[in-house]
Amino acid sequence: MATNQMQRRLAAILAADVVGYSRLAAADEEGTVSRLRALRHELIDPVVAAHGGRLVKTTGDGRIIEFASVVDAVRCAIEAQRKIAVRNADVAPHKRIEFRIGLHLGDVIVEGDGDLMGDGVNIAARLETIAEPGGICLSNAAYDQVRDKIAAEFTDLGDKELKNIARPVRVYSILPQNGSTPAQAGVHRAEVATSGGVAPDFRRGGEKREGAERSSLAGASPPRLSIVVLPFADIGGDPEQEYFVDGVTESLTTDLSRISGSFVIARNTAFTFDRNMAAAHGTIGHAKLFDGRAEETEPHILEALRLSPKDAVAWHWMFVAGMAKVSLARDEEAVAWLRRSVEIFRYFSEPHFFLAAALAHIGRVDEARAAAQAGLALDPGHTVSRIPFSDNPTYLARYERYRDGLRKAGVPEE
């Protein structure tokens, strides 16, 4: 007897979309299309195939991909974002093609032509829209399957209302093992709220979300105020008031951003901070380094470690302290901080490179070359000429000292 019952299955869905595609295409449509095609053919498609993904459909500059395993889907996303970051290192910021990725495990409806429909796809697509550029967001359903199986740092972003999705979804973001990561993005690409939208980056020409007004950072002087609005807590304990207190945080962040000459950490980053202030101190220390105030970094890192000595990102705070010490020519202290960082978490390339520079400056060239090789094993495309993380003149002058150390350690110039 014939039946019209729909075919369904459980699937891991990955949704990916290009950040600011309309802006890229408006500036150079043919060039953007050509570079996107090359990126897909040379990098994305091989990575997807290696992890068993199936392309469901292409949606303009985006893609929907199905995986039988959530673990494979997450590994694919991490590898792709890492390789794209490496590929972008030598590309001018305003020409970089970056992706946001959303991941969800859910029930899908299978169409006759292989297309997939339903909330399983819709949630993944909505998660993609709230991911940071170069970042990954996944639902609680996906997180539960990978939390003990993936060597990555997960940040709980809480319950999120997603457009056209009936219920709030618990969302997690991922810090991949190496390459440009969302954890760094909280500072390297910290979003500066403006009255017209949000515009990230300490560097000139940084990417920003569609619809935001371009903030002209070229030639700007360093901000006189650096502010983070930590999430408010409802002391009454009423769950229905959580949306209200989050709204207060968001509104205050937007209002403070209108102060001329201020730098305000974006609400998405602020909402990841823990209530004991450890993460806030870590990020403020990082921001001061890029603001040319490296001498003020270490006290914040020490306070972060005092408040949360076993924090999952303690290694990154130690790395920040090490960067500050290299910047200040205190290389012995830098080596101590950076060795602690790589001993805890060796899968991120940047601490290895800063360790190499510090060792080279104190004449321990063999050790410096070994540290540089460890960094290059994680990030083969790293060069001395890589674009700095900030436009601040003091930071840039001190960054040249780091580059000199890399040269002595044998890191390629170009």
What average pLDDT does this structure show over 41-45? 89
Q: How far is CA 340 from CA 188, 300, 320, 344, 367, in A?
A: 22, 17, 12, 6, 15
Are 80 and 54 within one domain?
Answer: yes
DSSP at 138: E
- pLDDT over 60 (residue 204): no
Q: What is the pLDDT of residue 391?
A: 79
Exposed, middle or buried, 13 (CB in 10 Å: 0-12/13-18/19+)?
Answer: buried
**Residue 1 domain flag:** no
Q: How many other CB atoms are there within 10 angstroms of residue 233's CB atom? A: 10
pLDDT of residue 90: 77
- Cα separation of 294 and 13, whole Å? 43
Residue 63 is predicted with a pLDDT of 92
Q: How wide is the angle at C-alpha 378 spanned by C-alphas 138 and 64, nearest 5°? A: 30
Of residues 258 and 40, more confidently modeled? 40
Give me the pLDDT at residue 261, please: 62
Contacts of 94 (CB under 8 A, 6+ apart): 27, 205
Q: Which of 1-5, 276-280, 314-318 is modeled with the greatest confidence?
A: 314-318
The residues with which 200 forms a beta bridge, in sequence order, are 191
Same domain, 115 and 141: yes
Mean pLDDT score of the chain, rounded to an integer? 79
- In a shared domain, residues 178 and 206: no
152 or 356: which carries more pLDDT confidence?
A: 356
Report how far residue 137's alpha carbon sits from residue 126's, in angstroms, rounded to the nearest whole number. 10
Q: What is the pLDDT of residue 239?
A: 63
Does 96 share its domain with 177? Answer: yes
Residue 402 located in a structural domain: yes
Q: Verify that 393 and 285 share a domain, yes or no.
A: yes
What are 345's two structure tokens?
């978490």
Q: Give the angle subtended at the CA of 300 by the CAs of 294 and 303, to the nearest 5°.
A: 150
Backbone angles phi, psi at 271, to 5 degrees: -70, -15
Please report the pLDDT score of residue 202 as a whole number. 37
pLDDT category of residue 115 using cuts at 50, 70 and 90: confident
Backbone angles phi, psi at 17, to 5 degrees: -150, 145
Q: Which domain holds residue 29?
A: 7-184
DSSP β-bridge partners for residue 262 = 225
CB atoms within 10 A of CB 153: 19
When pLDDT is cut at 50, 70 and 90, the band that residue 176 belongs to is very low
The CATH number assigned to the domain holding 393 equals: 1.25.40.10
pLDDT reported for residue 211: 34
Residue 348 has pLDDT above 80, yes or no: yes
* 177/36 same-domain check: yes
pLDDT of 164 above 70:
yes
Cβ–Cβ contacts within 10 Å for residue 162, how many? Answer: 20
pLDDT tens digits for range 273-302: 554 578 778 888 888 898 889 999 999 999
Q: What is the structure's pLDDT at 175?
A: 59
User: Encoding tokens for residue 52?
Assistant: 């068993």
> Which domain-ending residue is among 169, 184, 199?
184
Residues 210 and 290 in one domain: no
Please give the tally of structural domains in the chain: 3
* pLDDT score of 362: 95
Task: Report residue 161 as tokens.
Answer: 């209302």
Instruction: Report the run of H or E that residue 141 belongs to, with start and end.
Output: helix 140-146
* pLDDT category of residue 241 using cuts at 50, 70 and 90: low
Question: Residues 134, 32: one domain?
Answer: yes
CA-wise closest residue to 297 among 374, 381, 398: 398
Does the pLDDT of residue 403 top 80, yes or no? yes
Same domain, 264 and 285: no
Pair (278, 262) in one structural domain: no
pLDDT band at 191 (very low <50, low <70, confident <90, very high): very low
The residue from 184, 210, 237 where one domain ends is 184
Q: How far is CA 276 from CA 6, 193, 212, 270, in A?
A: 50, 24, 32, 13
Query: Which residue spans within 220-365 are E strands per DSSP?
Result: 225-227, 262-264
Q: Is residue 35 part of a domain?
A: yes
For residue 77, being part of any structural domain is answered with yes
pLDDT > 70 fraction of the chain, expressed in percent and rounded: 78
Answer yes or no: is 360 within a domain: yes
CATH number of the structural domain spanning residue 178:
3.30.70.1230
Confidence check: pLDDT of 41 > 90: no
145 and 285 co-located in one domain:
no
- Tokens read off for 222: 């360093």
DSSP 374-413: HHHHH-TT--TTPPPS---HHHHHHHHHHHHHHHHTT---
Q: What's the pTM value of the predicted model, to 2 decimals? A: 0.46
Domain stops at, among 271, 305, 324: 271
In this structure, are residues 127 and 102 in contact, taking their beta carbons and an 8 Å threshold?
Answer: yes
Highest mean pLDDT among 58-72, 151-165, 226-240, 332-346: 332-346
Q: What digits encode the pLDDT tens for the residues 360-392? A: 999 999 999 999 999 999 888 889 988 776 778
| 292 and 242 within one domain | no
